[in-house]
Structure 1
Amino acid sequence: MFFLRQLRKLKLPPRMLAQFYTAIMESILTSSILTSSITVWFAGAIVRDRLRLQRVVRAAEKVIGCRLPSIQDLYISRTRRRAGRITADPSHPGHGLFSPLPSGRRLRSIRTKTSRYMNSFFPSAIRLLNTK
Protein backbone atom coordinates (compact mmCIF):
# COMPACT_ATOMS: atom_id res chain seq x y z
CA MET A 1 0.00 0.00 0.00
CA PHE A 2 2.89 2.33 0.72
CA PHE A 3 4.20 2.23 -2.84
CA LEU A 4 0.72 2.61 -4.27
CA ARG A 5 0.21 5.76 -2.21
CA GLN A 6 3.60 7.08 -3.27
CA LEU A 7 2.72 6.57 -6.92
CA ARG A 8 -0.56 8.39 -6.39
CA LYS A 9 1.34 11.33 -4.87
CA LEU A 10 3.37 11.47 -8.08
CA LYS A 11 0.07 12.11 -9.94
CA LEU A 12 0.13 8.90 -11.97
CA PRO A 13 -3.12 8.19 -13.84
CA PRO A 14 -5.50 5.61 -12.31
CA ARG A 15 -4.81 3.20 -15.15
CA MET A 16 -1.11 3.05 -14.23
CA LEU A 17 -1.98 2.62 -10.55
CA ALA A 18 -4.31 -0.25 -11.44
CA GLN A 19 -1.54 -1.90 -13.47
CA PHE A 20 0.83 -1.57 -10.52
CA TYR A 21 -1.81 -3.11 -8.25
CA THR A 22 -2.35 -6.03 -10.63
CA ALA A 23 1.34 -6.68 -11.15
CA ILE A 24 2.61 -6.29 -7.61
CA MET A 25 -0.07 -6.25 -4.93
CA GLU A 26 -2.45 -8.79 -6.46
CA SER A 27 0.38 -11.27 -6.91
CA ILE A 28 1.29 -10.84 -3.24
CA LEU A 29 -2.32 -11.26 -2.10
CA THR A 30 -2.95 -14.37 -4.16
CA SER A 31 0.28 -16.28 -3.62
CA SER A 32 2.73 -16.85 -0.83
CA ILE A 33 6.50 -17.05 -0.70
CA LEU A 34 6.30 -20.75 -1.51
CA THR A 35 4.26 -19.93 -4.66
CA SER A 36 1.19 -21.56 -3.17
CA SER A 37 -1.60 -20.21 -5.30
CA ILE A 38 -4.90 -18.77 -4.15
CA THR A 39 -6.54 -21.84 -5.68
CA VAL A 40 -4.99 -23.97 -2.94
CA TRP A 41 -5.62 -22.00 0.23
CA PHE A 42 -8.72 -19.87 -0.43
CA ALA A 43 -11.35 -22.63 -0.19
CA GLY A 44 -10.05 -23.65 3.23
CA ALA A 45 -9.58 -20.13 4.57
CA ILE A 46 -11.87 -18.95 7.33
CA VAL A 47 -14.20 -16.02 6.73
CA ARG A 48 -12.22 -13.70 8.98
CA ASP A 49 -9.07 -14.17 6.87
CA ARG A 50 -10.99 -13.65 3.62
CA LEU A 51 -12.44 -10.41 4.95
CA ARG A 52 -9.01 -9.18 6.01
CA LEU A 53 -7.68 -9.74 2.50
CA GLN A 54 -10.74 -8.08 0.99
CA ARG A 55 -10.09 -5.07 3.23
CA VAL A 56 -6.71 -4.60 1.54
CA VAL A 57 -8.42 -4.69 -1.87
CA ARG A 58 -10.97 -2.07 -0.77
CA ALA A 59 -8.19 0.18 0.53
CA ALA A 60 -6.40 -0.11 -2.81
CA GLU A 61 -9.66 0.75 -4.60
CA LYS A 62 -9.89 3.96 -2.59
CA VAL A 63 -6.30 4.89 -3.38
CA ILE A 64 -6.61 4.13 -7.10
CA GLY A 65 -10.13 5.45 -7.53
CA CYS A 66 -11.54 2.56 -9.58
CA ARG A 67 -13.09 -0.85 -8.99
CA LEU A 68 -10.79 -3.85 -8.59
CA PRO A 69 -11.68 -7.55 -8.70
CA SER A 70 -12.49 -9.01 -5.30
CA ILE A 71 -10.51 -11.85 -3.76
CA GLN A 72 -13.49 -14.15 -4.41
CA ASP A 73 -13.50 -13.21 -8.12
CA LEU A 74 -9.76 -13.87 -8.38
CA TYR A 75 -10.23 -17.25 -6.73
CA ILE A 76 -13.03 -18.22 -9.12
CA SER A 77 -11.20 -17.17 -12.28
CA ARG A 78 -7.89 -18.76 -11.31
CA THR A 79 -9.49 -21.98 -10.09
CA ARG A 80 -11.44 -22.35 -13.35
CA ARG A 81 -8.29 -21.72 -15.37
CA ARG A 82 -6.24 -24.22 -13.33
CA ALA A 83 -8.97 -26.88 -13.47
CA GLY A 84 -9.29 -26.35 -17.22
CA ARG A 85 -5.57 -26.97 -17.67
CA ILE A 86 -5.78 -30.15 -15.60
CA THR A 87 -8.75 -31.51 -17.57
CA ALA A 88 -7.03 -30.70 -20.87
CA ASP A 89 -3.84 -32.58 -19.89
CA PRO A 90 -4.39 -36.37 -19.71
CA SER A 91 -0.89 -36.87 -18.27
CA HIS A 92 -1.68 -34.74 -15.19
CA PRO A 93 -1.95 -36.87 -12.01
CA GLY A 94 -5.26 -35.22 -11.07
CA HIS A 95 -6.85 -35.62 -14.51
CA GLY A 96 -8.82 -38.71 -13.44
CA LEU A 97 -10.51 -36.82 -10.60
CA PHE A 98 -12.37 -34.64 -13.13
CA SER A 99 -14.57 -37.41 -14.52
CA PRO A 100 -17.81 -36.34 -16.23
CA LEU A 101 -21.20 -37.78 -15.35
CA PRO A 102 -23.05 -39.78 -18.06
CA SER A 103 -24.92 -36.65 -19.14
CA GLY A 104 -21.59 -34.98 -19.92
CA ARG A 105 -22.71 -31.65 -18.46
CA ARG A 106 -21.37 -31.95 -14.93
CA LEU A 107 -18.40 -33.53 -13.20
CA ARG A 108 -18.64 -36.33 -10.68
CA SER A 109 -18.34 -35.01 -7.13
CA ILE A 110 -15.57 -36.39 -4.97
CA ARG A 111 -16.75 -38.09 -1.79
CA THR A 112 -14.96 -36.69 1.22
CA LYS A 113 -14.99 -37.71 4.86
CA THR A 114 -13.30 -34.68 6.36
CA SER A 115 -13.95 -30.99 5.94
CA ARG A 116 -10.24 -30.44 5.41
CA TYR A 117 -10.29 -32.62 2.29
CA MET A 118 -13.65 -31.19 1.21
CA ASN A 119 -12.12 -27.69 1.19
CA SER A 120 -9.00 -28.76 -0.72
CA PHE A 121 -8.44 -27.87 -4.37
CA PHE A 122 -9.95 -30.80 -6.28
CA PRO A 123 -13.35 -31.08 -4.54
CA SER A 124 -13.79 -27.30 -4.42
CA ALA A 125 -12.77 -26.95 -8.10
CA ILE A 126 -15.30 -29.59 -9.11
CA ARG A 127 -18.03 -27.83 -7.11
CA LEU A 128 -17.08 -24.55 -8.78
CA LEU A 129 -17.12 -26.04 -12.28
CA ASN A 130 -20.49 -27.67 -11.62
CA THR A 131 -22.06 -24.31 -10.73
CA LYS A 132 -21.34 -22.58 -14.06
Structure 2
Amino acid sequence: FAYRANRSVDDAVNMGLHFILQHLDKPGTYARILFVDFSSAFHTIIPDILQIKLSQLSVPTSICQWITSFLTDRQQLVRLGKLTSGTRTISTGAPQGCVLSPLLFSLYTNDCTSKDPSVKLLKFADDTTVIGLIRDGDVSAYRQEVEQLSLWCSHNNLELNTLKTVEMTVDFRRKPPALTPLTIMNSTVAAVDSSKFLGTNISQDLKWDIHIDSIVKKSPAEVVLSSSTEKVQSTTGTDDTVLLRCQVSSVLFYNCLVWGS
Protein backbone atom coordinates (compact mmCIF):
# COMPACT_ATOMS: atom_id res chain seq x y z
CA PHE A 1 0.00 0.00 0.00
CA ALA A 2 2.87 2.41 0.68
CA TYR A 3 4.22 4.67 -2.09
CA ARG A 4 1.53 3.68 -4.58
CA ALA A 5 -0.87 6.00 -6.36
CA ASN A 6 -4.35 6.20 -4.83
CA ARG A 7 -3.34 4.08 -1.83
CA SER A 8 -3.03 5.12 1.81
CA VAL A 9 -3.00 3.94 5.41
CA ASP A 10 -6.80 4.18 5.38
CA ASP A 11 -6.95 1.66 2.52
CA ALA A 12 -4.68 -0.82 4.30
CA VAL A 13 -6.60 -0.73 7.60
CA ASN A 14 -9.98 -0.76 5.85
CA MET A 15 -9.00 -3.78 3.79
CA GLY A 16 -7.76 -5.63 6.87
CA LEU A 17 -11.02 -4.96 8.70
CA HIS A 18 -13.00 -5.95 5.61
CA PHE A 19 -11.27 -9.34 5.49
CA ILE A 20 -11.96 -9.91 9.19
CA LEU A 21 -15.60 -8.78 9.28
CA GLN A 22 -16.51 -10.61 6.09
CA HIS A 23 -14.98 -13.79 7.52
CA LEU A 24 -16.70 -13.43 10.90
CA ASP A 25 -20.11 -13.43 9.22
CA LYS A 26 -19.66 -17.19 8.73
CA PRO A 27 -20.41 -19.62 11.59
CA GLY A 28 -17.57 -21.18 13.60
CA THR A 29 -15.02 -18.55 12.62
CA TYR A 30 -12.56 -16.21 14.27
CA ALA A 31 -9.46 -14.26 13.27
CA ARG A 32 -5.91 -14.11 14.57
CA ILE A 33 -3.94 -10.97 13.79
CA LEU A 34 -0.15 -10.89 14.03
CA PHE A 35 1.41 -7.43 14.22
CA VAL A 36 4.98 -8.00 13.06
CA ASP A 37 7.89 -5.86 14.23
CA PHE A 38 11.19 -5.84 12.36
CA SER A 39 14.47 -4.83 13.98
CA SER A 40 16.03 -1.92 12.03
CA ALA A 41 14.25 -2.86 8.81
CA PHE A 42 15.85 -0.35 6.42
CA HIS A 43 19.34 -1.13 7.73
CA THR A 44 19.13 -4.81 6.76
CA ILE A 45 18.82 -4.53 2.97
CA ILE A 46 21.50 -6.53 1.12
CA PRO A 47 22.31 -4.65 -2.14
CA ASP A 48 23.11 -7.82 -4.13
CA ILE A 49 19.82 -9.45 -3.12
CA LEU A 50 17.95 -6.22 -3.90
CA GLN A 51 19.52 -6.07 -7.36
CA ILE A 52 18.29 -9.59 -8.13
CA LYS A 53 14.79 -8.70 -6.95
CA LEU A 54 14.75 -5.50 -9.03
CA SER A 55 15.85 -7.45 -12.12
CA GLN A 56 12.98 -9.88 -11.56
CA LEU A 57 10.65 -6.86 -11.51
CA SER A 58 11.98 -5.86 -14.97
CA VAL A 59 13.84 -2.81 -13.67
CA PRO A 60 16.47 -1.83 -16.30
CA THR A 61 19.95 -3.21 -15.63
CA SER A 62 21.50 0.26 -15.57
CA ILE A 63 19.09 1.37 -12.82
CA CYS A 64 19.77 -1.82 -10.83
CA GLN A 65 23.51 -1.23 -11.03
CA TRP A 66 23.11 2.43 -10.08
CA ILE A 67 21.08 1.52 -6.98
CA THR A 68 23.61 -1.16 -5.99
CA SER A 69 26.43 1.35 -6.38
CA PHE A 70 24.47 3.89 -4.33
CA LEU A 71 24.04 1.42 -1.44
CA THR A 72 27.55 -0.06 -1.54
CA ASP A 73 30.71 1.30 0.13
CA ARG A 74 29.01 4.30 1.76
CA GLN A 75 31.23 6.37 4.04
CA GLN A 76 29.79 7.26 7.44
CA LEU A 77 31.06 9.10 10.49
CA VAL A 78 29.69 10.66 13.66
CA ARG A 79 30.21 14.30 14.60
CA LEU A 80 29.43 15.61 18.10
CA GLY A 81 30.31 19.24 18.62
CA LYS A 82 33.95 19.59 17.61
CA LEU A 83 34.63 15.86 17.89
CA THR A 84 34.55 13.62 14.83
CA SER A 85 34.80 9.85 14.76
CA GLY A 86 36.72 7.79 12.26
CA THR A 87 35.14 6.88 8.94
CA ARG A 88 33.49 3.51 8.45
CA THR A 89 32.48 1.87 5.19
CA ILE A 90 28.89 0.57 5.06
CA SER A 91 27.55 -1.81 2.41
CA THR A 92 24.32 -2.92 4.05
CA GLY A 93 20.97 -1.20 4.37
CA ALA A 94 19.67 2.06 2.96
CA PRO A 95 20.65 5.54 4.22
CA GLN A 96 18.52 6.82 7.08
CA GLY A 97 16.31 9.72 5.98
CA CYS A 98 16.84 9.08 2.28
CA VAL A 99 13.67 9.56 0.22
CA LEU A 100 14.49 6.43 -1.80
CA SER A 101 14.98 4.13 1.21
CA PRO A 102 11.30 3.32 2.01
CA LEU A 103 10.60 2.57 -1.66
CA LEU A 104 13.63 0.28 -1.88
CA PHE A 105 12.45 -1.58 1.22
CA SER A 106 8.99 -2.03 -0.30
CA LEU A 107 10.56 -3.49 -3.44
CA TYR A 108 12.90 -5.62 -1.33
CA THR A 109 9.92 -7.21 0.45
CA ASN A 110 7.71 -7.43 -2.64
CA ASP A 111 8.11 -11.22 -2.87
CA CYS A 112 7.08 -11.72 0.75
CA THR A 113 3.53 -12.92 0.18
CA SER A 114 0.99 -15.40 1.50
CA LYS A 115 0.16 -18.44 -0.60
CA ASP A 116 -2.92 -19.53 1.32
CA PRO A 117 -6.14 -17.55 0.63
CA SER A 118 -7.19 -17.85 4.28
CA VAL A 119 -4.13 -15.88 5.39
CA LYS A 120 -3.80 -12.23 4.39
CA LEU A 121 -0.48 -10.40 4.47
CA LEU A 122 -0.79 -6.61 4.60
CA LYS A 123 2.36 -4.54 4.11
CA PHE A 124 2.88 -0.81 4.43
CA ALA A 125 6.59 0.06 4.11
CA ASP A 126 8.21 -1.71 7.10
CA ASP A 127 4.88 -2.44 8.83
CA THR A 128 3.63 -5.98 8.24
CA THR A 129 0.41 -7.55 9.52
CA VAL A 130 -0.61 -11.19 9.12
CA ILE A 131 -4.34 -11.95 9.35
CA GLY A 132 -5.35 -15.57 9.80
CA LEU A 133 -9.00 -16.26 8.93
CA ILE A 134 -9.67 -19.36 11.04
CA ARG A 135 -12.59 -21.71 10.51
CA ASP A 136 -13.56 -24.79 12.53
CA GLY A 137 -10.48 -24.33 14.71
CA ASP A 138 -8.02 -25.20 11.92
CA VAL A 139 -4.97 -22.97 12.42
CA SER A 140 -2.55 -25.06 10.33
CA ALA A 141 -2.50 -22.66 7.35
CA TYR A 142 -2.01 -19.64 9.61
CA ARG A 143 0.86 -21.23 11.51
CA GLN A 144 2.46 -22.41 8.28
CA GLU A 145 2.35 -18.94 6.74
CA VAL A 146 3.86 -17.41 9.89
CA GLU A 147 6.64 -20.01 9.69
CA GLN A 148 7.19 -19.16 6.02
CA LEU A 149 7.41 -15.48 6.93
CA SER A 150 10.05 -16.29 9.53
CA LEU A 151 12.04 -18.32 6.98
CA TRP A 152 11.73 -15.55 4.39
CA CYS A 153 13.13 -13.08 6.91
CA SER A 154 16.13 -15.29 7.68
CA HIS A 155 16.86 -15.73 3.95
CA ASN A 156 16.67 -11.98 3.33
CA ASN A 157 18.63 -10.71 6.34
CA LEU A 158 15.57 -9.34 8.15
CA GLU A 159 15.23 -9.93 11.88
CA LEU A 160 11.83 -10.50 13.42
CA ASN A 161 11.68 -8.77 16.78
CA THR A 162 9.76 -11.38 18.75
CA LEU A 163 9.75 -9.17 21.85
CA LYS A 164 7.69 -6.48 20.09
CA THR A 165 5.71 -8.72 17.75
CA VAL A 166 2.24 -9.32 19.25
CA GLU A 167 -0.89 -11.27 18.37
CA MET A 168 -4.53 -10.34 18.86
CA THR A 169 -7.57 -12.60 18.46
CA VAL A 170 -10.99 -11.45 17.28
CA ASP A 171 -13.58 -14.04 18.28
CA PHE A 172 -17.29 -13.23 18.65
CA ARG A 173 -18.40 -16.77 19.46
CA ARG A 174 -20.32 -17.17 22.73
CA LYS A 175 -17.84 -19.58 24.30
CA PRO A 176 -14.49 -19.22 22.55
CA PRO A 177 -12.03 -21.94 23.58
CA ALA A 178 -8.55 -21.24 24.91
CA LEU A 179 -6.03 -20.91 22.09
CA THR A 180 -2.55 -22.38 21.85
CA PRO A 181 -0.02 -19.51 21.89
CA LEU A 182 1.84 -18.76 18.68
CA THR A 183 5.61 -19.30 18.66
CA ILE A 184 8.21 -17.77 16.36
CA MET A 185 11.80 -18.99 16.48
CA ASN A 186 11.11 -20.80 19.75
CA SER A 187 9.78 -17.59 21.32
CA THR A 188 6.17 -17.30 22.45
CA VAL A 189 4.38 -14.33 20.90
CA ALA A 190 2.58 -12.14 23.43
CA ALA A 191 -1.22 -12.17 23.20
CA VAL A 192 -2.80 -8.72 23.58
CA ASP A 193 -6.31 -7.29 23.82
CA SER A 194 -5.47 -4.29 21.62
CA SER A 195 -2.64 -3.06 19.43
CA LYS A 196 -1.76 -0.30 17.00
CA PHE A 197 -2.54 -1.10 13.38
CA LEU A 198 -0.69 1.47 11.26
CA GLY A 199 -1.16 4.14 13.91
CA THR A 200 -4.75 3.26 14.76
CA ASN A 201 -5.54 1.49 18.03
CA ILE A 202 -7.62 -1.58 17.28
CA SER A 203 -9.10 -3.78 20.01
CA GLN A 204 -10.31 -7.36 19.84
CA ASP A 205 -13.94 -6.29 20.14
CA LEU A 206 -13.41 -4.04 17.09
CA LYS A 207 -14.66 -1.00 18.97
CA TRP A 208 -12.86 2.33 18.99
CA ASP A 209 -13.02 3.47 22.62
CA ILE A 210 -9.31 2.87 23.22
CA HIS A 211 -8.33 4.69 20.04
CA ILE A 212 -10.57 7.68 20.73
CA ASP A 213 -9.24 7.99 24.28
CA SER A 214 -5.66 7.85 23.02
CA ILE A 215 -6.06 10.54 20.37
CA VAL A 216 -7.89 12.85 22.77
CA LYS A 217 -4.96 12.53 25.18
CA LYS A 218 -2.44 12.83 22.37
CA SER A 219 -4.03 15.88 20.78
CA PRO A 220 -2.36 19.14 21.84
CA ALA A 221 -5.78 20.81 21.97
CA GLU A 222 -5.41 21.37 25.71
CA VAL A 223 -2.08 23.05 25.13
CA VAL A 224 -3.57 25.29 22.46
CA LEU A 225 -6.62 26.21 24.55
CA SER A 226 -4.54 26.92 27.64
CA SER A 227 -2.36 29.47 25.88
CA SER A 228 -2.31 32.87 27.49
CA THR A 229 -4.91 35.43 26.41
CA GLU A 230 -2.19 37.78 25.23
CA LYS A 231 -0.71 35.08 23.01
CA VAL A 232 -4.07 34.18 21.50
CA GLN A 233 -4.88 37.83 20.82
CA SER A 234 -1.55 38.28 19.06
CA THR A 235 -2.38 35.70 16.40
CA THR A 236 -4.47 36.30 13.33
CA GLY A 237 -7.32 34.12 12.13
CA THR A 238 -4.98 32.57 9.56
CA ASP A 239 -2.46 31.71 12.28
CA ASP A 240 -5.19 30.01 14.29
CA THR A 241 -6.30 27.97 11.29
CA VAL A 242 -2.76 26.81 10.52
CA LEU A 243 -2.20 25.93 14.18
CA LEU A 244 -5.45 23.97 14.30
CA ARG A 245 -4.72 22.03 11.12
CA CYS A 246 -1.10 21.23 11.97
CA GLN A 247 -1.29 20.41 15.66
CA VAL A 248 -4.87 19.34 16.33
CA SER A 249 -6.70 18.22 13.19
CA SER A 250 -3.80 16.06 12.01
CA VAL A 251 -4.05 14.07 15.25
CA LEU A 252 -7.82 13.97 15.70
CA PHE A 253 -8.70 13.04 12.13
CA TYR A 254 -5.86 10.63 11.32
CA ASN A 255 -7.35 7.53 9.65
CA CYS A 256 -10.85 8.74 10.63
CA LEU A 257 -12.36 7.03 7.58
CA VAL A 258 -11.80 3.79 9.49
CA TRP A 259 -12.80 4.57 13.05
CA GLY A 260 -15.11 7.56 12.50
CA SER A 261 -17.59 5.94 10.13
Q: Could you tell me the TM-score, scaled by structure 2's length?
A: 0.21
Structure (1/2) with the larger strand percentage: 2
Structure (1/2) with the larger helix percentage: 1
Q: Could you tell me the TM-score, scaled by structure 1's length?
A: 0.34
